Amino acid sequence: MPVMDYLERNAQLYPEEVALVELNPEEQETRRISWKEYDLIEPSRFEPYRREITWAVFDEKANRFANMLLSRGIRKGDKVAILMYNCLEWLPIYFGVLKSGAIAVPFNFRYDADEILYCAELAEVDMVVFGPAFIGRIEAYAERLSKGRLLIYVGDNCPGFAESYHELVADCSSQSPGIEITDEDYGAIYFSSGTTGFPKAILHKHRSLTQAAEMEQKHHATGREDTFLCIPPLYHTGAKFHWMGSLVAGSRSVLLKGTKPKTILSAVSKEHCTIVWLLVPWAQDILDALESGEVKKEDYQLEQWRLMHIGAQPVPPSLIKRWKEYFPNHDYDTNYGLSESTGPGCVHLGMENIHKVGAIGVPGYRWECKIVDEQGITVRQGEVGELCVKGPGVMTCYYNNEEATAETIRDGWLFTGDMAMQDEDGFYFLVDRKKDVIVSGGENIYPVQIEDFLRRYDKIKDVAVIGMPDYRLGEKTAAIIEVKEDMTCTRAEIEEFCLQLPRYKRPKEIIFESIPRNATGKIEKPKLRKKYGADNLVAKETM
First vs last C-alpha separation in the chain: 41
User: Three-state DSSP class for 433?
Assistant: strand
Domain made up of 445-536: CATH architecture: 2-Layer Sandwich (3.30)
Which residue type does 38 have?
Answer: Y
Strands 438-440 and 443-445: what pairing? antiparallel
What is the distance of C-alpha 54 from the center of its chain? 25
C-alpha closest to that of 280 among 48, 470, 152, 75: 470
Give 503's contacts (C-beta < 8 A, 6+ positions apart).
none
Domain made up of 4-181: CATH architecture: 3-Layer(aba) Sandwich (3.40)
The H-or-E segment that residue 8 falls in is: helix 4-13
Cα separation, 141 vs 143, in Å, equals: 6
Chunked into runs of 10 residues, the chain (543 residues) has average pLDDT values of: 97 98 70 36 53 97 98 96 96 98 95 92 97 95 93 95 96 96 97 67 98 97 98 91 97 95 96 94 89 94 96 76 94 93 94 91 97 94 94 97 95 92 94 71 78 87 88 89 89 94 91 76 76 51 29
C-alpha closest to that of 122 among 79, 74, 70, 93: 79
Quote the pLDDT of residue 30: 36
Q: Are 162 and 152 in contact (CB under 8 A)?
A: yes
Cα separation, 316 vs 318, in Å, equals: 5
Quote the pLDDT of residue 451: 85
Quote the pLDDT of residue 72: 95
Provide CATH 3.30.300.30 ranges for the chain: 445-536
Quote the pLDDT of residue 8: 98
Alpha helices in 220-328 (DSSP H): 237-249, 261-270, 280-292, 317-326
Quote the pLDDT of residue 27: 58
C-alpha closest to that of 321 among 281, 273, 361, 355: 355
Cα separation, 116 vs 128, in Å, equals: 10
Cα separation, 523 vs 518, in Å, equals: 7
**CATH entry 3.40.50.150 includes domain 243-433:** no
Quote the pLDDT of residue 193: 59
Provide CATH 3.40.50.12780 ranges for the chain: 4-181, 243-433
pTM check: above 0.75:
yes
Exposed e or buried b per residue across 377-414, where buried means at least 16 C-beta atoms within 10 angstroms of its C-beta: eebeeeeebbbbbbbbbbbbbbbebeeebeebbeeebb
C-alpha closest to that of 328 among 543, 7, 98: 543
